[in-house]
Each structure stands twice: as C-alpha cells, then as structure tokens.
Amino acid sequence: MKRLIKNILLQISKVSFPVLYGISTFLYFIIYYIIGYRKKIVRNNLLIAFPDKTKEERLKIQKQFYRNFMDFMVELIKTFSMNEKDYDERIKFVNLEVSQQCHKEKKDIIMLIGHMFNWEWLTGISMDLSQKHSYAVYKKVANNFFDQEVHESRARFGTVPLSVKEVVRSMIKLPNDGSHVFLFVADQSPFKSRIHYELNFFNRITPAFNGYDKIARKKDYAIVYVDMVKLKRGKYEAHLKRILPDDDQFRENEIVEKFYSELEQNIKSNPSLWLWSHKRWKYTSGIDYQL
C-alpha cells in the first residue's frame, strides 16, 4: 500500500506547476469552505497577534493563509521530483555573503528559520552555501509514511537530516571550522513537561524551545536568521541575516530572544505566510506550567 501511495504521489509531483496550483485552488475551497480545517485555531491566533486589526483585515489574512497553506502542500509533493534547476528557478537566496563571511571566520552556522512558507524548500540552500556540509534538524511527524518521504526529499541535494534526538551529539563531535551549517525550524512549541524558557511574542508570554542556545554559545557558532518572502506562487526569496550579540558574547537565551524578534517582524511583513494553524499559544504561564 505504501509503495502504491508513493508511486501516486511521485506521478502527481511530475505534473506541471500551473496544474498543481489549480489543484491547490480546488483544495483551498474544500479545506476552507467545506471542511473548515482548524478555522477556530487560526482565527484565535490572528486575534492574539493582531488585536488592533479589524475583523475584516484578519479575515483577509486568514483566507490568504489557507491559500498559501494549500500551495505549500502541493509544493511539498512537488519536491519528490524537483531537480537542481527547479530549485534555482523557484527560490533565490539573498545575501549569501553572510555564508561566505562565516566560512572565512571558520565559524559553523546555526541557521534559524520559522514556519514561514515554504520553509521545506530551504533544504536546497546547501547548493549555494560556502559551507561544505549542511544538516536539517527535524522533528518526526506522526505519519510514518510522510515522515520518511519528507526525510528523503530533504536529503536529495546534500542536506543531511538530523533528528532532534541526535543533533546535539552530532554538533559536539563535529569541529567548529566553518564548514557546517545546521538548519533549525526554531519556532517549535515545546512539550509542556519540557518548557524551560518563555518570552514575549506578539505581546503574549510564550513558551519557547531554547535547546540550540546552550550549544550555540558553548561552541561559539555564528547565528543566521532566514527571512522568507513569497514573491508569487512558486517563487520565494530567502534573505540571510547575521544575528550578533549586544556585547562580545551572547548572554543566555539572547539568541532565542533575537530569533523571535526577527520572526515577529517577518510575520508582520508577510502575515499570511506563517503557519497559523498550529496551537502556538496553547499553554498559559503559571497555569499550565511553572518555571
């Protein structure tokens, strides 16, 4: 059965982009108007993030989010058959001088990204970086079949997938010599039992995953934020921005704070590109968890 599904998805992935986006538009009407997938969550999240916007303005963002979400889903399937030329045509990496400078400084990079569409296509960045080795840190998804397929698609152009369980061990073993990049989708919501840090995000106290902060400071990695911009369907720009400490070295959790500050500005500039359907504010400080 898995082989059959894989073959079907592979054949769908070979369909032209215009046809795939036609499918995306059809799926948008089904998901949004008929199924209403996670509408309440999206609506509540937008109200938390943009209380000063009118109901009509939030509704416009909500609808555009679902359109982008469906585009993301068909683009995810498309990755099963994309080649290097496809990536070059679909995503442009801006300010690659940051990568070159870190390489000259002989500093490995922790590259921090949010759930901004289309973060999955960032795995193609390994073809453009000055660093020889790139690793995509991933969290296993519930569906084993899709977990395996996404895992394989991430590895096709030289980006090695690393599970969250093995990433720290791997980073400790590897020399910090400017030849490695570690990509973190860093706005993950931590499990309630593993909340060790919280910060202000969209004027709401928010639990934040901070596992990368300690290893980044311990090994003196360079920190780079990736600002995602969707130019039009199937066309993205990923802007690389070096995050620097306020003093000579990063203080504890300063990297996390600056990442979320950059992410918030990224979202405000392109609000329909963030994954509003996940329960980002499901835990309340002092009620659901104690620090």
pLDDT band at 278 (very low <50, low <70, confident <90, very high): very high
Report pLDDT digits (tens) over 60-97.
999 999 999 999 999 999 988 888 889 889 999 999 99
Distance in angstroms (rounded) separating the CA atoms of residues 67 and 41: 16
pLDDT recorded at residue 283:
93
* Pairing status of strand 204-207 against strand 198-201: antiparallel
Q: In this structure, is residue 284 part of a structural domain?
A: no
Q: Where are the beta strands (DSSP E) in the chain?
A: 91-94, 109-113, 133-138, 159-163, 180-185, 198-201, 204-207, 222-232, 235-243
Average pLDDT of 240-253? 97
Nearest to 200 by CA among 123, 242, 139, 253: 253
Distance in angstroms (rounded) separating the CA atoms of residues 274 and 261: 14
Q: In this structure, is residue 278 part of a structural domain?
A: no
137 vs 220 pLDDT, higher one? 220
Q: In this structure, is residue 252 part of a structural domain?
A: yes
Q: In this structure, is residue 41 part of a structural domain?
A: yes
Q: In this structure, is residue 19 part of a structural domain?
A: yes
Q: In this structure, is residue 281 part of a structural domain?
A: no
188 vs 143 pLDDT, higher one? 188
Q: In this structure, is residue 121 part of a structural domain?
A: yes
Q: In this structure, is residue 194 part of a structural domain?
A: yes
Q: Tell which phi-psi region holds residue 3, choosing left (phi > 0), alpha (psi between -120 and 50) or beta.
A: alpha
**Neighbour-count burial for 146-177, b at 16+ CB within 10 Å, e otherwise:** eeebbeebbebbebebbeeeebbeebeeeebe
Full residue range of the structural domain in which residue 131 is found: 2-273
pTM of the predicted protein model: 0.93
**Going by C-beta distance under 8 Å and a sequence separation of 6 or more, which residues neighbour residue 22?**
none
pLDDT recorded at residue 159:
84
Average pLDDT of 159-178? 90
Strand partners, 162: 137
Q: Does residue 50 contact residue 194 with C-beta atoms inside 8 Å?
A: no
Q: What percent of the chain has pLDDT over 90?
A: 76
Distance in angstroms (rounded) separating the CA atoms of residues 225 and 40: 30
pLDDT at 123 exceeding the cut of 90: no
Q: Does residue 85 contact residue 157 with C-beta atoms inside 8 Å?
A: no
Residue 139 backbone dihedrals phi, psi, to 5 degrees: -110, 125
Helix (H) or strand (E) run with residue 139 in it: none
Q: Average per-residue pLDDT in the chain?
A: 92
pLDDT at 152 exceeding the cut of 80: no
**Tally of domains in the chain:** 1
Report pLDDT digits (tens) over 1-51.
667 777 888 888 899 999 999 999 999 999 999 999 999 999 999 999 999
